Amino acid sequence: MSDTKTESFEFQTEVKQLLDLMIHSLYSNPDVFLRELISNASDALDRLRFEGLTNPEWLPEAELGITLRVDPEQRLLTVSDCGIGMSREEVVLNIGTIAKSGAAEFTAALKKKQGKEIPPELIGQFGVGFYASFMAADRVTVTTRKAGADTATRWESTGEGGFEISEAERATTGTDVTLHLKAAGGDAGTPDYADEWGLRQIVRKYSDFVSYPIRLETVGGEESKGGDDPLNSMKAIWTRPDDEVSEDEHGEFYKHISHDWSDPLLHIRTRIEGNFEATALLYLPSVAPFDLYHREMAHRGIQLYVKRIFIMDECRELMPEYLRFVKGVVDAEDLSLNVSREMLQQDRQIEAIRKHLVKKVLEALGELKQNDEEKYLGFYSQFGPVLKEGMLDPREKRERILDLVLCASTVNAGKLGSLAEAVDRIPEDQDVIYFLTGASLDTITRSPHLEAFKKKGIEVLLFSDRVDEVWLEQNPPEYKGKRWQSVDRGDIRLGSEEEQQAAEEERKQEEDAFGELLGRLRVAVQDRVKEVRLSQRLTESPACLVNEEGELTPQMAAILREAGQDVPETQPILEINPTHPLLVKLRELCETDSSDRRIAEFGELLYGQALLAEGGRLDDSAAFSRKLADLMLRAL
């Protein structure tokens, strides 16, 4: 297929849907497209500067910069850079398709908002800012030449169904994005992006910190005119004293590096001094990105600079997985400019910087938790499950993560509280932290495993995030001198030694009275449980399922199976409540006629009821339903 002729391509289906929604939707801030194009141009210059370390011939003699070229008469606006550029293949891939699966989530989010104002943060969050150009333009043309290449490529589209690709001419490396602007005003109230004053205002407000000069040229009439002075200050924000940077400037810089158009929750500035030097400016987002749990898709984390020269967009070696939501910049003074991923993994300076950054982030979260409970609750609702992944990191000082963990409990009516507050409420003679995990807080709160604890006024912590099953399964470290104990494991004994001794004597007597019934129930469900025994947990429910110490919970087993791991088959213990009227009646029935078939039926129903109470699923729900209906019919 020749490169000299024009070829037509169809947009990927997801891109068609996305463009249709974006073009016909209203945005609370239509300037987002220009912010995104300038940011993309800055990224292209960063990459050329980095590649120029090994290919100096790629660097232009002229200054690296960005030019906004506006023609009010023709209603044209061009964002031009002399950056890395794109090859023909990259143009087709990067503009004709959305390789990341975020397209589906983005389109779904737009559809939910259809008919309403759509917040601009959706655009940056899903990395599709280029397509926002069609909010302001009837047609977009991209002319680009890859560094090291002799030919350029032209891409053009009206945003309606497809695009055209052809060979083009461009004297230098870089990219021009030309927008054929829509008429200003109209029903959508489109701003006039051919207005020079308006463009200056947008650049100064949103892109002042871009580290390359942004200049404006006005084309048309007899001559072109443009000022030599850049529109932006170009000051690296992390080099300026903190008291000289406003919250608005922090907000715009965060949006620039993260492409998240929500304001950050807070910023952390720190400096490392000693055997080596580095400066860091970090941000905590206020809203979780769509790819938070898809690490292979995540982008724009910690950017690495060396002496203010851009090195890489996301240096994962600088932040552990459980803090992957942190965004920002690290500028090191002593690293090699041609540092590689392999070198980073072995570099002691990088490891020292990482430890310092982790310490500062956790300290900042601790201060937020202590000083602004409402704001910390907002953070925790977005990032709490990810933060708790740090409990699985053997290199981490896990107690400092536990200091940040919030959870519900049986005494705080569903309100999240800290572990430290819960431990303060534990009596001195109680050496354990009782807890229960499950698929949802609603299910856990109603669990029969809690009945004896509630009756005795013993607090139980409730954990319902998926990660809780994992870290609490792996013998978490003691917290403030208290070990952890799950209330659905083992044979729970509550109260003082005297109370436990009295309860043991009572249970022996009950076991004598219930011995034959326990045996009959065991036969009825022998293929599903390993034992049927009397319970000290239950005060209201007739039965519950428990696991022995050291065995996997059903939820944990399901997580491992989803991960493709082999899970040994285990059977729970069925505990029955000897004081429940149903079990008392069953015991009397068994004493009268131990061969009565109803005993086996009740045994199966008790097992099914206990399984459902803990949020489990029946192997044969239809059979369970039939048995229950037959029982009700006979009762009537």
3-state secondary structure of 124: helix
> What tokens does 154 get?
């032209």
List, as one string, the DSSP characters of 603-636. HHHHHHHHHHHTT---TTHHHHHHHHHHHHHHH-
- For residues 309 and 261, state if they share a domain: yes
DSSP-derived 3-state class of residue 557:
helix
CA proximity to 162, closest of 12, 382, 333, 323: 12
Lowest mean pLDDT among 94-103, 283-292, 460-469, 593-602: 94-103
Q: Is the pLDDT of residue 143 over 90?
A: yes
CA angle 526, 531, 536 (to 5 degrees): 140
- Binned at pLDDT 50, 70 and 90, residue 301 comes out as confident
556 part of a folded domain: no
In a domain, 381, yes or no: no
In a domain, 593, yes or no: yes
Residue 536 lies in a domain: yes
pLDDT in tens, 586-627: 999 999 998 888 899 899 999 998 888 877 778 888 888 888
Cβ(313)–Cβ(341) below 8 Å: no
Mean pLDDT score, 479-508: 82
Do 370 and 455 reside in the same domain of the chain?
no
User: Does residue 127 surpass a pLDDT of 80?
Assistant: no
Which phi and psi angles does 237 have, rounded to 5°? -60, -30
Q: What angle do CA 554, 557, 560 make, to 5 degrees?
A: 155
The fraction of the chain above a pLDDT of 90, given in percent, is 44
Same domain flag for 91 and 196: yes
Say yes or no: 284 and 422 in one domain: no
CATH of the domain at 272: 3.30.230.80
What pLDDT does 318 receive?
92
SS3 283: strand
Please tell me the predicted confidence (pLDDT) of residue 498: 78
| Least confident range of 226-235, 290-299, 602-611 | 290-299
Q: Count H helices, E strands: the chain?
A: 21, 24
Specify whether 505 is located in the same domain as 585.
yes
Q: Do the Cβ atoms of 260 and 289 come closer than 8 Å?
A: yes
Q: The tokens of 578 are what?
A: 């000897």
CATH number at 622 reads: 1.20.120.790
| DSSP run (H or E) holding 382 | helix 373-387
What whole-number percentage of the chain has pLDDT above 70? 85
Domain membership flag for residue 420: yes
Question: Of 43 and 66, which is predicted with more confidence?
Answer: 66
Report whether pLDDT(45) > 80: yes
Give the residue among 466, 421, 107 at the shortest CA–CA distance from 293. Answer: 466
CA-nearest of 211, 242, 233, 213 to 305 is 211
pLDDT at 408: 94
Domain boundary residue among 459, 486, 513? 486
Sole residue written with tokens 């690293």: 335
d(Cα 343, Cα 354) in Å, to the nearest integer?
A: 15
**Is 181 in the same domain as 279?**
no
pLDDT reported for residue 29: 64
Assess if residue 553 is contained within a domain. no
pLDDT at position 121, please?
44
Mean pLDDT of the chain: 84
Residue 231 to residue 241: CA distance in whole angstroms: 22
Q: Do 317 and 222 have their domain in common?
A: no
Q: What 8-state DSSP symbol labels residue 396?
A: S
Instruction: Mark whether 59 and 190 lie in a shared domain.
Output: yes
Nearest-angstrom CA–CA distance, 82 and 60: 8
Nearest to 232 by CA among 71, 65, 60, 32: 65
pLDDT at 7 > cutoff 50 = yes
- pLDDT band of residue 299 (cuts 50, 70, 90) is low
- Whether residue 400 lies inside any domain: the answer is no
Its domain, for residue 356, covers: 237-374
Band of pLDDT at residue 628, cut at 50, 70 and 90: confident
Q: What is the mean pLDDT of residues 292-315?
A: 76
Band of the pLDDT at 560, cuts 50, 70, 90?
low
Instruction: Pick the most confident of 336-340, 364-368, 395-399, 507-511.
Output: 364-368
* End-to-end Cα, the chain, rounded Å: 80
Which tokens sit at 609?
């009821």
Rg, the chain, Cα only? 32
Last residue of one domain, picked from the residues 486, 506, 525: 486
Would you call 459 exposed, middle or buried from its count of C-beta atoms within 10 A (0-12, 13-18, 19+)?
Answer: buried
pLDDT digit string, tens, across residues 515-550 = 899 999 999 998 889 899 998 889 999 999 998 876
At 3, the pLDDT band (50, 70, 90 cuts) reads very low
pLDDT bracket for residue 2 (50, 70, 90) = very low
Q: What pLDDT score was predicted for residue 118? A: 47
With left for phi above 0 and alpha for psi between -120 and 50, is residue 253 left, alpha or beta?
alpha
The better pLDDT of the pair 331, 395 is held by 331
pLDDT exceeds cutoff 80 at 187: no
Q: Is the pLDDT confidence value at 123 over 60?
A: no
Tell whether 272 and 221 lie within a shared domain.
Answer: no
Structure confidence at residue 615 (pLDDT): 73
Q: What average pLDDT does range 439-464 have in this prediction?
A: 91
User: Of the residues 226, 253, 280, which one is the last residue of a structural domain?
Assistant: 226
Residue 367 lies in a domain: yes
Q: 580 and 515, same structural domain?
A: yes
Residues 196 and 262 in one domain: no
| CATH code for the domain in which residue 37 is found | 3.30.565.10
More confident residue, 583 or 17: 583
Tally of structural domains, the chain: 4
What distance in Å separates the CA atoms of residue 501 and residue 623, rounded to the nearest whole number?
A: 42
Using CB atoms within 10 A of its CB, is residue 42 exposed (0-12), middle (13-18) or buried (19+)? buried
- On the question of pLDDT at 155 being above 90, the answer is yes
Q: Within this chain, do residues 102 and 208 fall inside the same structural domain, yes or no?
A: yes
Q: Examine the pLDDT at 26 and tell me if it is beyond 80.
A: no
Between CA 458 and CA 448 the distance in angstroms is 14
